[in-house]
Structure 1
């Protein structure tokens, strides 16, 4: 059955079996009914969740195994605080072409819905990433989203469908300069989450993970160019950075530019452990509005670019100014909740404090 680019019509829902409620109080296995005007979305596995600041969290995209005891405990605690628990789902790039087939889409949707019912979840977070070079495939992805939305809402109107999208909708290498039909996706989701990270732009030069100016351009394209309601958009920022192994340095305007030979992601807690060993302390890049520092490890120079409370606050203020739907982070378990160092624990507390405070300003 072919759907138009708007969510409408009836979708047949195949019979789906419930699992066994993991909570002592069976009422906690009911979908969260509390409605939120704005959203604070947390992506995370299970470690450290007991130490989070839960004050403003509205949606937990749980990246843990729902069959494990700790993940079950996380689920029950989240529901006790009226926090929705959703599951991240995707489609392999090799299967993109198959999405033009309605039968294949129905198979995927049935699997997704079975997960929702088996683990008593509150919905799905769709994370489909990859280049799309065919308008037919792009339409297939839109149809999959439409049909998933209709099927979930038919089961229970409280279920939530969210979509992870890139920081900028304009991608010249994809069909029609857009890898997905973001306008239609906005109509067939509760909201979309911008992945405002992995935006390395320096080529062979170490650079910021989430430059402010690129985020500003991306939101302008979504809101002003595509006319997507900002209340359909959630800003997800990185609680991690990049460690660049420098081959040599090029000095320009008194800043040492790291020409790197390799790079790797580094979580915030590990980055903070390296700061005391940095050669000249934390520096600030004015263009990207991002911090970085240089450190020597085993006689090899590294440059680490990351986000801290200062750089993230600037991004959060942008979200408030644009009146976005909400804020989020990738990921909550990238902070250090077990340190005995008061300074580290203060940094962890401040990361939560700032995103929560800005969430309440939305």
Structure 2
């Protein structure tokens, strides 16, 4: 999903621990807040919650769904429900474990029970594993989505089942899923329009995490395989990539070391992911200051570390995000979301507060901003 690391490695353990501390009695001061959210808003703003208490400072005028990629927090559940926002599980499972239909059914039943015990509103299926067409895993994944959606909709009225997909349906990272079938079978797809450099098929040169042209092309490709645009939520990154340059040319081409990934000789895995709050503290003191690449429609900057190495950082900010958001209405998409909601600076520093407000504001098309 992006910046997650060890936190997601421990996700299954943390969720199990979370379930053990939720004893079935409504933890909210108002018992009505333990009822599932049934209303669906016209424009989806999907937030991945990863850690800490910054959720208290999200712009809740925007949020429609919070996906739990952290230990269960009953206070967050109650608060999200008080704002009319869904609160959903993160669902990850090895595809080898669900090829068997009985094991698949058992896993789904476990997720439904966990969601009901914690007064949650659905599940976000985050698989991200290589799958080849016409294999047992290919058919099992489609069946998983179908059966999960049916079970959640039956057991939790108004619940939401979503599925995370890469920026394009063209077997990105060897994820050759039944995209059309999966889209039909769940409520919508969350399109991870970032990590576009996960497979670099041309020169090993640093580039944008979510280049504009590739982002829009990805949605057009989903739509061209007969996926309803209202089944697509645009994902944007609230993080960037820091690359060490083997060589930096005068026209800002940062030559990278090779690091293969799923068939490609080079990848963004050679860099490190950096939160937006770190980028904002670093950019103004960098060698270059904020630069703008007009081809990829993305900001970047260069800096030198304490060892004398030159780095190049590519990221997204309100300008680059707004350009992509303008296409949500043009393409008829369902909404937007980000990985993840905890990568902004929610401190009381006035400059940081403005930067954070601007990032939230950039998520909405202009006409929707004016109505809030």
2-structure distance, mates of 1:26, 1:305: 46
1-structure distance, mates of 2:141, 2:33: 33
Q: Is residue 63 of structure 1 aligned with residue 69 of structure 2?
A: yes
- Is the 8 Å Cα contact of residues 28 and 78 (structure 2) preserved in structure 1? yes
SS in 2 for 1:42: strand
**Residue 195 of structure 1 corresponds to which residue in structure 2?**
192
Please list the CA deviations of residues 325-344 of structure 1 after superposition, one character each: whole Å capped at 9, or x if unmatched: 0111111110000152x222
Please list the CA deviations of residues 107-157 of structure 1 after superposition, one character each: whole Å capped at 9, or x if unmatched: 210121121112110000001112112513211111111111111111133
2-structure distance, mates of 1:205, 1:211: 14
1:9-20 alignment runs, 5 A limit: 19-20=24-25
2-structure distance, mates of 1:173, 1:291: 25
**C-alpha spacing 1:173/1:77, structure 2 compared with 1 (3 Å):** closer
SS in 1 for 2:300: strand
Q: 53, 68, 71: which is aligned to 1:47?
A: 53
1:134-145 alignment runs, 5 A limit: 134-135=133-134, 136-145=136-145
* Structure 1, unpaired ranges of 5+: 1-16
TM-score by length of 2: 0.84
TM-score by length of 1: 0.87
2-structure distance, mates of 1:76, 1:203: 49
Q: Is residue 81 of structure 1 aligned with residue 80 of structure 2?
A: no
Q: Bigger CA drift: 125-134 or 305-314?
A: 125-134
Q: 183, 186, 192: which is aligned to 2:183?
A: 186
Q: CA RMSD in A?
A: 2.0
Q: Write out the 4+ residue segments of structure 1 that deviate beyond 4 Å after TM superposition.
A: none
**Residue 116 of structure 1 corresponds to which residue in structure 2?**
115
Q: Is residue 258 of structure 1 aligned with residue 254 of structure 2?
A: yes
Please list the CA deviations of residues 220-246 of structure 1 after superposition, one character each: whole Å capped at 9, or x if unmatched: 11102x111101100010000001112
Greater share of strand: 1
**Residue 334 of structure 1 corresponds to which residue in structure 2?**
343
User: Per-residue deviation at 1:197?
Assistant: 0.6
User: Per-residue deviation at 1:158?
Assistant: 0.8
Please list the CA deviations of residues 78-107 of structure 1 after superposition, one character each: whole Å capped at 9, or x if unmatched: 100110000111112xxx234331111112
Q: Bigger CA drift: 151-160 or 82-91?
A: 151-160
Q: Is residue 102 of structure 1 aligned with residue 101 of structure 2?
A: yes
* Structure 2, unpaired ranges of 5+: 1-21, 258-269
**Residue 295 of structure 1 corresponds to which residue in structure 2?**
303
**C-alpha spacing 1:267/1:173, structure 2 compared with 1 (3 Å):** closer
